[in-house]
């Protein structure tokens, strides 16, 4: 984490949004620290773009307050908020050169030409687009266009950068390299950045802090490691991580143990609300499952299909009770389709959830 963090950059207090009678954002409280890279992630329709656009001032806030650098901006125009936004669609002017695209906003704001030149040079330096300045957007690749779009945000020297799914239009390989570019940009500039994506890998790799959203509500806020290793609920457990965490129906046996597909497993935390025979959800990540020789604390599975990917092998399995399970193996001999195997997992990696989805800690 950078120095300079610790001051609040963006603060949302009980922010709500309705379209007519339909409420889509249900009271969001969130603080973003100065210099922090925060990613809003969640499935399509969860409200992440709406939330970002409210911070930008492009969408009216129905209720609640938004402050940037301690200043209430809830009713301010986008241009008065100290923000700059980068869109998925680039939104470049097709008839202008890259240089003019970069400088256009500053020119409109009557910035002196020498200052425009300085900022355009600085941005093109950071983004390594100096050789493209005289081209038009139509003469650029998708990745180069997105770089220009980011450059246009940089020249504004905003307090806060807002990114709305900026990499979604790029092919998979370019997405990875632009992701690394954006991480580098954040390191170099040190600005506060808020970034919206539906892609949990982007969220994991870019964020200092991930905000997981569902249906207009925050499900969990935390570092990538926190939301991955210590999810608050079944939704976060299933959304973060690829392949996803195995989430299996099980039953409480007695204090500290469950029954999964007829096998007894330990590790269930004490929970007075849960009685013997109550259903619960057992969560285990594919990479935490180990082959075992059987006996206590293990369960049986049949390998339906083994997928060999070189560095890893995925085993698509079925338990005795019919539930499906994915196992990820980093090493070991190949396992044949149809093999019967015994599995276990370190007790510390086992996760338990109530039927309602809430984590049992």
Where on the chain is the footprint of ligand ADP (CB under 6 A)? 19, 24, 42, 44-50
CA nearest to 140, candidates 148, 130, 151: 148
Cα angle: 228, vertex 233, 236; to 5 degrees: 45
Q: Which is nearer to ligand ADP, 206 or 317 (CB)?
A: 206
Q: Which is nearer to ligand ADP, 105 or 238 (CB)?
A: 238
Widest distance between CA atoms in the chain: 77
C-alpha–C-alpha distance, residues 338 and 303, integer Å: 5
| Tokens encoding 210 | 């991930």
- Smallest separation (angstroms) from ligand ADP to the CB of 45: 4
| Tokens encoding 106 | 């500053």
Q: Which is nearer to ligand ADP, 62 or 111 (CB)?
A: 62
- Smallest separation (angstroms) from ligand ADP to the CB of 183: 22
- Smallest separation (angstroms) from ligand ADP to the CB of 226: 22
Encode burial over 49-70: b for 16+ CB neighbours within 10 A, e otherwise.
Answer: bbbbbbbbbebebeebebbbbe
| Tokens encoding 189 | 């500039």
Q: Which is nearer to ligand ADP, 44 or 311 (CB)?
A: 44
- Smallest separation (angstroms) from ligand ADP to the CB of 41: 9
Q: Which is nearer to ligand ADP, 194 or 319 (CB)?
A: 194
- Smallest separation (angstroms) from ligand ADP to the CB of 236: 16
Q: Which is nearer to ligand ADP, 29 or 134 (CB)?
A: 29
- Smallest separation (angstroms) from ligand ADP to the CB of 61: 13
C-alpha–C-alpha distance, residues 130 and 120, integer Å: 9
CA 5 to chain CA centroid, nearest Å: 21
| Tokens encoding 37 | 């890279």
CA 115 to each of CA 33, 153, 162, 258: distance values in angstroms, whole numbers, following the listed order: 29, 15, 23, 67
């Amino acid at each position: 984490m950078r120095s300079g963090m610790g001051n609040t950059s963006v603060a949302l207090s009980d922010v709500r949004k309705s379209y007519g009678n339909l409420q889509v954002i249900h009271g969001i409280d969130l603080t973003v620290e100065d210099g922090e890279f925060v990613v809003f992630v969640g499935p399509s329709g969860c409200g992440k773009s709406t939330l970002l656009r409210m911070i930008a001032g492009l969408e009216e806030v129905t209720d609640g307050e938004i402050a940037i650098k301690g200043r209430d901006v809830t009713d301010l125009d986008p241009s008065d908020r100290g923000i700059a936004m980068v869109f998925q669609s680039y939104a470049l002017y097709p008839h202008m050169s890259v240089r003019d695209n970069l400088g256009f906003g500053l020119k409109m704001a009557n910035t002196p030409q020498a200052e425009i030149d300085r900022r355009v040079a600085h941005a093109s330096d950071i983004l390594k687009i100096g050789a493209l300045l005289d081209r038009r957007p139509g003469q650029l690749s998708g990745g180069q266009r997105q770089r220009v779009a980011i450059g246009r945000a940089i020249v504004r020297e905003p307090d806060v950068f807002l990114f709305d799914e900026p990499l979604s239009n790029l092919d998979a390989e370019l997405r990875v390299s632009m992701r690394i570019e954006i991480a580098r940009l954040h390191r170099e500039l040190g600005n506060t950045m808020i970034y919206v994506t539906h892609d949990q890998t982007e969220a994991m790799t870019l964020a200092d802090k991930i905000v997981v959203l569902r249906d207009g509500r925050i499900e969990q806020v935390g570092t990538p490691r926190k939301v991955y290793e210590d999810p608050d609920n079944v939704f976060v457990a299933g959304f973060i991580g690829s392949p996803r965490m195995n989430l299996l129906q099980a039953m409480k046996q007695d204090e500290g143990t469950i029954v999964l597909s007829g096998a007894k497993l330990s590790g269930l935390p004490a929970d007075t609300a849960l009685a013997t025979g109550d259903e619960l959800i057992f969560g285990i990540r594919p990479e935490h499952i180990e082959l075992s020789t059987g006996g206590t604390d293990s369960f049986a599975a049949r390998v339906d299909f083994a997928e060999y990917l070189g560095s890893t092998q995925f085993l698509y399995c079925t338990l005795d009770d019919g539930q499906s399970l994915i196992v990820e193996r980093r090493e070991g001999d190949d396992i044949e389709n149809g093999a019967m195997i015994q599995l276990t997992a370190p007790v510390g990696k086992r996760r338990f959830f109530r039927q309602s989805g809430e984590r049992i800690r």
